[in-house]
Amino acid sequence: MTPQAQIEAAKILWEHWQQGLRLPALPTSCRPLTRPEGYAVQLEMMKVSGRSQFGWKIAATSAAGQAHIGVDGPLAGRLLNGQIDSSGAEVALGNTQMRVAEPEFAFRMARDLPPRAAPYSVREVLDAVDTLHPAIEVPDSRYENFAKVGGPQLIADNACAHRFVLGAATACNWRKLDLRAHEVHAEVIGRYAREGIGSNVLAGPDLALAWLANELSALGLTLAGGQVVTTGTCMTPLEIQPGDRVHVDFGPIGHVDARFVD
């Protein structure tokens, strides 16, 4: 895939994102066929957007999530400034087609994890973390049928990144918690409630974070200090509609809230 083809794909995806439009697939002339090509387009889309990077998201961290978008493993996407909200925010759904809210464990990094030959251990990655946060991701895709386009095109489309709501850093000693066994309660106020657990996230949020560090390392990329990583939904995504208020209780870790509008 030529650099010009990567830029062309990025422009198409960014224009569709900004206009709330969908496309069947990227044109064959600029369609990524491998995961590295997908990540190359993803980087170009950030450049085209003119926005800086807030952090990373991990998509498809469960077997159900992988089946839902037609892939066989997790995908990484960039969280861009301009798409980030704080807990309690009003979040516009607009023309989004997925219309789900995903309760997630999010980590803010304290220091860089640069590329290297040896894989990072879970302990090394956790030692590089500054804070843990409750969060809600609101994903979306620029494809008409995101379950059919395949991993490289989904990666190019920022792994379905869209909006992201970040709660306050927890004040509890989260390093003493078993995040894999940690239970999460979510409610779409007045409509229904749902339960989740950390082990739904690639067997644990800590394992998901380590997966990302090693995915980026293999691509020659740094997981940078200050960046926030949201690790994937810990429960079946919450179906939402305009007017809904979502409250997610992470117990001692804290809570995160959002209200959704047109």
pLDDT less than 50: residues of the chain? none
Q: For position 68, what pLDDT does the model report?
A: 80
DSSP state of 194: E
Q: For position 183, what pLDDT does the model report?
A: 98
Q: For position 231, what pLDDT does the model report?
A: 98
Stated pTM of the model: 0.96
Q: For position 63, what pLDDT does the model report?
A: 80
Cβ(60)–Cβ(35) below 8 Å:
no
Beta bridge pairs of residue 196: 184
Q: For position 69, what pLDDT does the model report?
A: 85
Q: For position 221, what pLDDT does the model report?
A: 97
Query: Which segments of 110-191 are extended strands (E)?
Result: 129-138, 163-166, 183-188
Q: For position 7, what pLDDT does the model report?
A: 98
CA-to-CA separations, 95 to 15, 81, 124, 231, in angstroms, rounded? 14, 20, 41, 25
Q: For position 9, what pLDDT does the model report?
A: 98
Task: Name which of 151, 133, 132 is nearest 141 in CA terms.
Answer: 151
DSSP state of 225: T
Q: For position 67, what pLDDT does the model report?
A: 83
Cβ(25)–Cβ(33) below 8 Å:
no
Q: In order of start, what are the domains of the chain with their CATH numbers?
A: 53-261 (3.90.850.10)
Q: For position 84, what pLDDT does the model report?
A: 98
Burial class (CB in 10 A: 0-12, 13-18, 19+), 70: middle
pLDDT (tens digit, 9 = 90+) per residue, 110-128?
999 999 999 999 999 999 9
Distance between CA 198 and CA 104 in Å, rounded?
9
Q: For position 223, what pLDDT does the model report?
A: 98
Q: For position 124, what pLDDT does the model report?
A: 98
Per-residue tokens: 197: 């657990």
Tokens 């804290």 locate to 254
